[in-house]
Amino acid sequence: DTAVSQTPKYLVTQMGNDKSIKCEQNLGHDTMYWYKQDSKKFLKIMFSYNNKELIINETVPNRFSPKSPDKAHLNLHINSLELGDSAVYFCASSKGAANTEAFFGQGTRLTVV
Amino acid sequence: AQSVTQLDSQVPVFEEAPVELRCNYSSSVSVYLFWYVQYPNQGLQLLLKYLSGSTLVESINGFEAEFNKSQTSFHLRKPSVHISDTAEYFCAVSLPGGYQKVTFGTGTKLQVIP
């Protein structure tokens, strides 16, 4: 009965590889997000989708490409991974705008070696 | 652009003692304010929020925060903490209206000491 679920929970990969993180929500929300949390716990939004349309795209390298096949899913694909990409990536969803309440997944800890 | 500052990176406090976690915001217009809590190895959960109306907002687990426009603050308080309150607490701000991004502070680690 998990509301926002991400897979995998842990991901260790070498520099230069391409990897994907999947996110699904069963709350019936129409807006989904990807956040990056660095080693100092600083949390920053990367992307936001509403009804499969991109509505927020922060200054993120083109190597990061979100894909939303439907309202319940928002996947994140990362090309040519770099050491600096190591972080915890959180998926979140909200009914409408995030400035009411966002529900977060448990996070994916990505380690690039 | 709006921003929040959490000056305390860590706050140790003994069990059953009161605690205050500080948050100051910066904005030239009206804002929404939030406190989120992150327990170890989990995602963030909304603790409480101020959108408008009463400046004192409360959560179901005994936390409260007061919106103070003159001091641009939204400090989080609890009169008596429990071990289970040990977590990272994030203050956040956004503009009112639809689809505004939420900007988070750098977090305050609350460490409750038995």
Query: A63 at the B interface (CB within 8 A)?
Result: no
Query: B102 at the A interface (CB within 8 A)?
Result: yes
CA distance B94 to B102: 5
Residue type, B107: G
**Best residue of B8, B91, B102, B110 to probe chain A, by most A CBs closer than 10 Å:** B102
Q: How far apart are the first and last CA of chain A?
A: 34
Q: What burial class does residue A62 get, using C-beta atoms within 10 Å of its C-beta: 0-12 exposed, 13-18 middle, 19+ buried? A: exposed
Each domain of chain B, given as residue ranges in start order, spans 3-113
Mean pLDDT of B38-56: 91
Q: Which fold has domain A4-112?
A: Immunoglobulin-like (2.60.40)
Chain A residues in contact with B39 (beta carbon < 8 A): none
Percent of chain B with pLDDT over 70: 99
Q: Which fold has domain B3-113?
A: Immunoglobulin-like (2.60.40)
Asked if B77 contacts B85 with a C-beta cutoff of 8 angstroms, the reply is no
CA distance A49 to A40: 26
Chain A residues in contact with B43 (beta carbon < 8 A): 4, 90, 92, 103-107
Residue type, A76: L
CA distance B44 to B38: 5
CA distance B1 to B103: 10
Query: B6 at the A interface (CB within 8 A)?
Result: no
The pLDDT tens digits for B53-102 are 889 999 988 999 999 999 999 999 999 999 999 999 999 998 887 677 88
Cis geometry, peptide bond prior to residue A66 (ω within 30 degrees of 0) = no
- State the pLDDT confidence band at B37, using cuts at 50, 70 and 90: very high
Query: What contacts B80, CB < 8 A, 6 or more positions away?
Result: B16, B17, B18, B62
Query: B49 at the A interface (CB within 8 A)?
Result: yes
Q: How many CB atoms lie within 10 A of CB A2?
A: 10
Asked if B14 contacts B112 with a C-beta cutoff of 8 angstroms, the reply is yes
Residue type, A25: Q
pLDDT value, residue A16 = 97
pLDDT value, residue A112 = 97
Mean pLDDT of chain B: 93
Q: What is the pLDDT along chain A (113 residues), one digit of tens a residue?
A: 669 999 999 999 999 999 999 999 999 998 999 999 999 888 999 999 988 888 888 878 999 999 999 999 999 999 999 999 999 999 999 987 767 788 999 999 999 99
